[in-house]
Amino acid sequence: MKKLMEIRVDKGFDLEKAVCNHGFFMTLPNQWSPSSKLLRRPLRLSDGYSSVMVSISFHFSSITYSHILISTDTKVADSDQDVIKKQVVRMLRLTNKDENDVRKFQEVHAEARTHGFGRLFRAPDLFEDIIKALLLCNITWKRTLEMCQYLCELQAELESGMHKDCASAPTIKPRKINDFFRSCKKTTSKVNLRALGNFPSSKELAGLSEEFLKKRCNLGFRAKYIIQLAQLVEKGQLDVELDKLTSFDDYDDIRMKMMKLKGIGSFATANILMCMGDYRNIPTDTETIKHLREVHGMEDCKEATLEKDVKQVYDQFAPYQCLAYWYENIESYERKLGTKLSNLSPANYHTVSSSYLAPKNNKCITSRKRKRSCSSP
């Protein structure tokens, strides 16, 4: 790997804790290595379409500061390096606002400060966060992981030009599109059809047909909403360059606009705003009910009382309710797993869910699908 660039961070920064704190780090194209403690994934270049695979690691430099190292085998221009660096800063929440949020949250949450918790991992861009938030709705965690994989496979096909040949295949029968992709191998031996690409951009998704996307990526009803969201972005009707927002009034305005979008309910909206840096509204679902029952002893917690119960527990940490909630969530998952999330093999990511970790004799809220208004672990 050729060294690409460095990002200076304070001595207290911990890459492992900055990455492995939310289910999004388990979703492709993110690839966390438990052994080497580094993150690999494709990042886009300045043209907005091409991508390069990078490795993100941590280097202890001195007693006062350290560095995030970004490496790649591909030679990139200075302008591309700036774009790559910006994406890493976003993923790891290294902006001045993020640092301020970490400090202020840890001032009101001593336990989180002791354990170095205060960041929630997110995507290199807001569009990926929005789509992944949609993929969390009304589905099992295992299926969310699968859909992210299929979308990354599709992006590799789009980038290689395979889609032009394969999109014309009939998609009426459930397995027809898969059969067609297998038949393509004979004439496209240089293309690995199962290779993972980047997460598809709004530009790449906006021109696809709903039927093709639904069949290729097994998205169900989500295909329609994903294409509509991509088209809104491409038409300039949905701004995904909103990371500089800092006031609660701005966030409240975005919340109202998001709730008006088809396919985006309160659960997805709370996740999206959390990724943007607004931690006031916890994305609540049946996992939240189960968590409050197990961790806080609220045996009477149910959907009708959930909003009141959440406020009772987490409003003491305002405006960082989400951070307090996810700190407890991660602690709970790791206690049940017997290991840190960062030590898990990708093959076991799907087990980080209530259906796998709940005691067999616990019959509360362990249904096949979480009831959400549209989470990840």
Domain annotation covers residue 256: no
**Strand 65-72 relative to strand 31-33: parallel, antiparallel, unpaired?**
unpaired
Q: Which residues of 51-80 are buried (b: 16+ CB within 10 A; e: fewer)?
A: bbbbbbbbeeeeeeebbbbbbbeeebeeeb
* Residues 6 or more apart in contact with residue 336 via CB below 8 angstroms: 357
- Per-residue pLDDT, 361: 39
Residue 34 covered by a domain: yes
pLDDT reported for residue 193: 40
Q: Is the CB of residue 10 less than 8 Å from the CB of residue 26?
A: no
Cβ(123)–Cβ(331) under 8 Å? no
Whether residue 131 is found in the same domain as residue 227:
yes
Q: What is the pLDDT of residue 85?
A: 97
* Pair 79, 152 in one domain: no
Query: Are residues 204 and 139 part of one domain?
Result: yes
Residues of the chain with pLDDT under 50: 165-194, 360-369, 373-376
Domain shared by 211 and 298, yes or no: no
The token duo for 263 is 């396919």
In a domain, 106, yes or no: no
Please check whether residues 223 and 140 belong to one and the same domain.
yes
DSSP string, 89-155: HHHHT-SHHHHHHHHHHHHH-HHHHHTT-------SSHHHHHHHHHHTTTS-HHHHHHHHHHHHHHH
Are 6 and 62 members of one domain?
yes
Q: What is the pLDDT of residue 60?
A: 82
Q: Is residue 154 part of a domain?
A: yes
Q: Which of 249, 247, 243 is nearest to 272 (CA)?
A: 243
**227 and 146 within one domain:** yes
Q: What dihedral angle (degrees, nearest 10) is formed by the CA atoms of 43, 49, 50, 53?
A: 20
**Shared domain check, 18 and 73:** yes
Residue 39 pairs in a beta bridge with 32, 56
Q: Are residues 84 and 149 in the same domain?
A: no
Domain carrying residue 19: 2-95
Cis peptide before 319 (omega within 30 of 0): yes
Which amino acid belongs to residue 361? N
- The domain boundary, picked from 234, 250, 275, lies at 234
274 is a domain residue: no
Give the strand pairing for 31-33 and 51-60: unpaired
Kindly report the CATH number assigned to the domain that includes residue 60.
3.30.310
Domain finish residue from 95, 119, 148: 95
- Establish if 253 belongs to a structural domain: no
- How many other C-beta atoms can be found within 10 angstroms of the C-beta atom of residue 111? 12
- What's the CA gap between 57 and 68, in Å, rounded? 6
pLDDT at residue 62, as a whole number: 76
Domain count, the chain: 3
363 lies in a domain?
no
